[in-house]
């Protein structure tokens, strides 16, 4: 075996052997969390929505083979990655903010902080910086060596999903009904495209009719923002206060002004309605449940080998300078 190959193999560790814990970088990169938060603050000044866009990465990364930054890999001639999957194409954005955080980390402590951990830190920061709770994250993840568009297509839920389907899906990840409802509260920040509600507005479940769960005036408003011939890339806030992380999202659901079908269904279906009501009344209870859900989602395991990528978009073996 050539020295180069054995050096490469040495760096491949089984991720499940790693124990996630707070303060993982205390000795190796003590400023890691401060560096990421600083980049997130700057991103907020440039484009407040980018924080929501980045927080969404945690969901789209962790649900697809665990939290391993597989989401961030660019396609290669031999690998179709996750960026162009059904849920991500023309939708996920602000990848450049992660690049910026990673570049700052590489400058401070080269080769130490994984991109998977950057996603976890940045998602927490997005919530904290928009008025939501702040919490301690567990760190020590590794980055995947590959990504799969198919794996993303197979698992990520459609905005037309109903509560029963979502309860089952989250259950497969050991996430409870409470986790589902709390984590859906992430839609307290950010925007969605008209594309994501066209069937709800004009042809719910192929009935040729709108979703009856809409509050009528709210639906009229959305009809104007998203007419049938609209450019479906036009975006609308996911709740009435899309830059502030608060429990407005749940108040909107109670008044039947939820945006996505997957949002409003949480109030329509009896299994989730009580939690929606509770979170709409008590923001503290929502925040606590949200943090618990984010921690559980951040624990989703990877059973494949990993590495600490130098560039979040490319595996190290594909970088021009493999030995540095
Ligand atoms: C419960 C199932 C979920 C479904 C079906 C769903 C679906 C969607 C859809 C369709 C959009 C808009 C995409 C577009 O129109 O381009 C969106 C946006 C968003 N989602 Fe979810 N989502 C779910 C759960 C989550 C979770 C668990 C999180 C994070 C913890 C999350 C965070 C976000 C954020 C922050 C945005 C706004 C992004 C931006 O403004 O760029 N979502 N989601
Ligand atoms: C919920 O969605 C699933 C999957 O699309 C469907 O099979 C089921 O009939 C729906 N349940 C209700 C009560 O509408
Ligand atoms: C609604 O969707 C169904 C199935 O895709 C389609 O056959 C039908 O023509 C649509 N109706 C309207 C009014 O667009
Ligand atoms: C949205 O914009 C993208 C790229 O700018 C384009 O490829 C796509 O077709 C548009 N999607 C819709 C639904 O109009």
Gap from CA of 165 to ligand 2 centroid (Å): 6
Average pLDDT on 305-312 reads 97
Gap from CA of 207 to ligand 3 centroid (Å): 7
Catalytic annotation on 21?
A: no
- Domain 163-294 listed as CATH 1.10.10.10: no
pLDDT attached to residue 18: 61
pLDDT attached to residue 320: 83
Q: Is the dihedral of CA 277, 235, 220, 244 positive or negative?
A: positive
pLDDT in tens, 171-182: 999 999 999 999
Average pLDDT on 37-63 reads 98
Atom of ligand 2 lying closest to residue 269 CA: 13
Q: Is the pLDDT of residue 258 over 50?
A: yes
Count of CB atoms within 10 A of residue 57's CB? 26
Average pLDDT on 134-142 reads 98
Spatial distance between the Cα atoms of 277 and 263, rounded to a whole number of angstroms = 13
The tokens describing 138, both together, are 């567990």
Gap from CA of 8 to ligand 1 centroid (Å): 37
pLDDT attached to residue 321: 67
**Which CATH number is 3-156+296-316 given?**
1.10.520.10
Query: CATH 1.10.420.10: which residues of the chain?
Result: 163-294
**Residue nearest ligand 2's atom 3 by CA:** 165
pLDDT in tens, 194-239: 999 999 999 999 999 999 999 999 999 999 999 999 999 999 999 9
Atom of ligand 4 lying closest to residue 90 CA: 3
- Indicate whether residue 231 lines ligand 4 (CB < 6 A): yes
Query: CATH 1.10.520.10: which residues of the chain?
Result: 3-156+296-316
Question: Using a 6 Å CB cutoff, which residues line ligand 2?
Answer: 162, 164-165
pLDDT in tens, 86-126: 999 999 999 999 999 999 999 999 999 999 999 999 999 99
- Indicate whether residue 278 lines ligand 1 (CB < 6 A): no
**Residue nearest ligand 3's atom 13 by CA:** 208
Gap from CA of 199 to ligand 3 centroid (Å): 9
**Residue nearest ligand 4's atom 1 by CA:** 233
pLDDT attached to residue 10: 39
């Amino acid at each position: 075996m050539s020295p180069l190959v054995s050096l490469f193999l040495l760096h491949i560790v089984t991720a499940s052997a790693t124990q996630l814990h707070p303060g993982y970088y205390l000795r190796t990169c003590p400023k890691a969390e401060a560096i990421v938060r600083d980049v997130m603050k700057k991103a907020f000044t440039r484009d407040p929505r980018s924080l929501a866009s980045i927080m969404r990465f945690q969901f789209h990364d962790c649900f697809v083979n665990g939290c391993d930054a597989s989401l961030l890999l660019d396609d290669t001639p031999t690998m179709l990655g996750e960026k162009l999957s059904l849920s991500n194409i023309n939708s996920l954005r602000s990848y450049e903010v992660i690049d910026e955080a990673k570049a700052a980390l590489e400058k401070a402590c080269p080769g130490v902080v994984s991109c998977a951990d950057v996603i976890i830190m940045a998602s927490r920061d997005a919530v904290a910086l928009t008025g939501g709770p702040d919490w301690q994250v567990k760190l020590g993840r590794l980055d995947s060596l590959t990504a799969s568009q198919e794996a993303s297509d197979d698992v990520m839920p459609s905005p037309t999903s109903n509560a029963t389907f979502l309860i089952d899906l989250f259950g497969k990840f050991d996430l409870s009904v409470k986790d589902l409802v709390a984590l859906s509260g992430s839609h307290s920040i950010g925007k969605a495209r008209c594309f994501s509600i066209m069937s709800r507005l004009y042809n719910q479940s192929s009935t040729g009719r709108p979703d009856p769960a809409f509050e009528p005036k709210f639906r009229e408003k959305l009809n104007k923002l998203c007419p049938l011939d609209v450019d479906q890339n036009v975006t609308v806030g996911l709740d009435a206060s899309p830059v502030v992380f608060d429990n407005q999202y749940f108040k909107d659901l109670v008044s039947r002004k939820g945006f996505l079908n997957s949002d409003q269904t949480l109030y329509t279906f009896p299994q989730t309605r009580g939690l929606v009501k509770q979170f709409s009344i008590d923001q503290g209870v929502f925040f606590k449940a949200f943090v618990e859900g984010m921690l559980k989602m951040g624990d989703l395991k990877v059973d494949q080998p990993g590495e600490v990528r130098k560039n979040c978009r490319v595996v190290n073996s594909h970088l021009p300078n493999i030995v540095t």
